Amino acid sequence: MQTINGGGVVSPRGYVAGAAACGLKKERQLDLALIYSERDCSAAALFTQNQVVAAPVILDRDTIGVNHSAIRGVVANAGNANACTGAPGLWAARQMQKNAAFALGCREDQLFVLSTGVIGVQLPMSMVNVGIDAAAKRLSADHGAVAAEAILTTDTFAKQIAVRLPFEDGEIIIGGMAKGAGMIHPNMATMLAVITTDAAVASEDLQQLLKVAAEWSFNRISIDGDTSTNDTVILLANGASGLEIIDQQKRITFLSGLQYVCERLAHMIVRDGEGATKFVSIHVKGAASEADAHAVANTIATSPLVKTALAGNDPNWGRILAAAGRAGVLFEQSNLALSIANPNRDPLQLITNGTPTDYQEDDAAAIFGQKEIDIELNLRCGEAQATVWTCDLTHGYVAINADYRT
């Protein structure tokens, strides 16, 4: 597998993108993006598990329900979530789909619609329509980066990646873009992502592969414990490479590439968490089941006390154990082992057999003071393990979200 320098969502063969500024964001920033395949695509999609969902999620669920084998692309806007907008919002989402289909020369049911931004504000379709027309005129295989930029909200950088996967009978490319910096938590992790490939994959297989890849990437990150109304991940496969993913070995290789792309995008989201200064990997080992390990890691990752300790460079490990203890997982505290480390450095053991070691506080504080931190908790009651990626909780997060609308 080879990472493509500067690659993104239109790196696979047969895809183009365009972007425009239609006024949904301030200062005429790019806020409307089109991703289009020159060939029909099989499609897979995952959506938020929040009971309150945005109009585009409702529409996209309906779309993939009637067409999962002849999709052509995605129209996306930032600056307005079109969520909690009632019947007018659903009408607006349908108009986005209809008008983009007309501009691209395809059927309405061949496009997905994505929106992100402020909740509870009606989408100004006169502005969106101008953006759709402008973006359609700028379609190019060189415009993946501007499309990735156009879907950002509080993000500070565009998130994109592409990889080449070699096979005996050819090669395929998987590319993707994502956005997300706040309201990030599993079920689905709060974000928008579009992933493309030029492999030929049946839609039923594609859905299963996406589910597995997302479970170990997008559903393993948390910034603030809030799951949004708009979370959507879309995977398109247009077959332009001429290589079919049909046998088990090819499925395994394809999944490894897909999971790598998803994981890298997920890591970018955590690194760009609102106000974040640290990227934190929480590894829970020795659990009775993977579900138990995940539950403990996730509880630690979402603990405000743990996250503020991380922000303050305070190795207050008692908060980590306390969070683990309320995860709803049975374990014996006298068996616990806890260590912390920075990447590629020896870990510092803080707890062994539930008892503090004779570590030096300055050494622990030095690790917590770094930009990347690994926390490992061993429950010592089984063989299962799981990892969750998170960030610290800073004054910057409060500042961004205290006046998000104003």
Around Cβ 74, how many Cβ atoms within 10 Å?
27
Query: Helices marked H in 81-153 — which ranges?
Result: 86-104, 125-136, 144-150
Write the CA distances from 23 to 67, 131, 135, 364, integer angstroms: 32, 9, 13, 48
How do 170-179 and 159-167 pair as beta strands? antiparallel
How do 279-287 and 372-378 pair as beta strands? parallel
Q: Which of 85, 116, 190, 197 is catalytic?
A: 190
Strand partners, 375: 282, 340
Distance CA(203)–CA(187), nearest Å, equals 22
Q: Measuring CA to CA, which residue among 117, 112, 270 is closest to residue 186? A: 270
Distance CA(232)–CA(230), nearest Å, equals 6
CB 327 within 8 A of CB 379: no
Distance CA(7)–CA(141), nearest Å, equals 11
Distance CA(42)–CA(208), nearest Å, equals 13
Residue whose tokens read 């305070």: 314
User: Quick one: residue 222, left, alpha or beta (phi over 0 = left, psi -120 to 50 = alpha)?
Assistant: beta
Distance CA(77)–CA(33), nearest Å, equals 6
Torsion of CA 45, 151, 109, 57, to 10 degrees: 60
* Close Cβ partners of 356 (under 8 Å, ≥ 6 residues apart): 350
Distance CA(58)–CA(17), nearest Å, equals 24
Q: Is 406 designated active site?
A: no
The residues annotated as belonging to the active site are 190
